[in-house]
Structure 1
Amino acid sequence: MVDQARARKIASRIREIIAADLGQIVKDPDLGFVTITDVRVTGDLQDASVFYTVYGDDDQRVTSSEILQRNVGKLRSHVGGRLGIRLTPTLELIPDGLPESASHLDDVLRKARERDAQLAAAASGASYAAGEDPYKRPAEDDEADARD
């Protein structure tokens, strides 16, 4: 039976452990500014997917990815010592696609703002086709009936 709450707690704890101690475990000056964005643990608590981002250019991302892959055993040992459960999950380090999707969203939002500005500029000189208020009001109907 899978305990999803326990898996979420362990995933959260793994994220905290790796994020707090990454610089102490991986003692490599070429390691870039790495942020642990998410950790997902399988229901049987055997495997953990660790998602991370690296601040910097593509060369920095590649270098940091290689360094992290070389040190995945150290990370797993450290997590196992600090986690306090019988079996330590295997760690799979996955670069997070967050920066790419965020830049795509920025482009979409920029285009939407430009389109909104164009529509606002076009609407500023526009006038109503049937006058300000083309609908009859009940009070006007009563006055028209009274005049007849």
Structure 2
Amino acid sequence: MAKHRANRLAETLKEEISQMIREELKDPRLGFTTVTDVEVADDLGHAKVFVSVLGDAQAGKDSLDALNRAAGFVRSEIGKRIRLRHVPEIVFKYDASLEKGAHISKLLREVETSTDRNDAGE
């Protein structure tokens, strides 16, 4: 039962925090940021919010710094929007999965191109 509740809360947090990042957080360091996943502990005391950031590594670091600085504001806003007895502590984490996926796609294209060249040479 607790796992189901944690999953429901994670989905709600993902929607609410995504909206806050889009519409309310005005930090100039915040780049084009997407909430990719939220993991809530079974005791509902902590939430890890995974974000991806469009741009280079510095843009990702700056955005993550801005988000973690705004975590208190985000937590208090969540408390106002969602009826919870205890709002979980929120920590933002960088999600590099999109970059890894793009890198794998690039490698696959390179393999396909070299295979096509080898086939044409035979």
Pick the TM interval, shorter chain: 0.7 to 0.9
Letter in 2 for 1:58: A
Provide the identity percentage: 33
Q: TM-score w.r.t. structure 1 length?
A: 0.73
1: distance between equivalents of 2:109 and 2:38?
Answer: 31
Q: CA deviation at 1:106?
A: 1.6
Number of the residue aligned with 2:48: 49
The 5 A counterparts of 1:1-148 are 3-118=2-117, 120-121=119-120
- Which ranges of structure 2 fall in alignment gaps of 5 or more residues? none
- Residues 109-145 of structure 1 deviation map (CA, whole Å, 9 limit, x = unaligned): 11331244145436xx6xxxxxxxxxxxxxxxxxxxx
TM-score by length of 2: 0.86
RMSD: 1.9
Once the two structures are superposed, residues 12-46 of structure 1 have per-residue CA deviations (whole angstroms, 9 ceiling, x without a partner) of 00000000122444222331111000001111111
Distance across 2 between alignment mates of 1:24 and 1:100: 25
Q: What is the CA–CA distance in structure 1 between the aligned matches of 2:110 and 2:55, rounded to whole Å? A: 26
Instruction: Identify the range of structure 1 (113-122 vs 40-49) with the bigger mean alpha-carbon deviation.
Output: 113-122
Q: Secondary structure at the match of 1:35?
A: strand
SS at match of 1:59: helix
- Could you tell which deviates more after superposition, 18-27 or 84-93? 18-27
For residues 105 and 20 of structure 2, what CA distance do their matches in structure 1 show? Answer: 32
CA shift, 1:5, in A, is: 1.5
Q: Which has the higher contact order (CA 8 A, sep 6+)?
A: 2
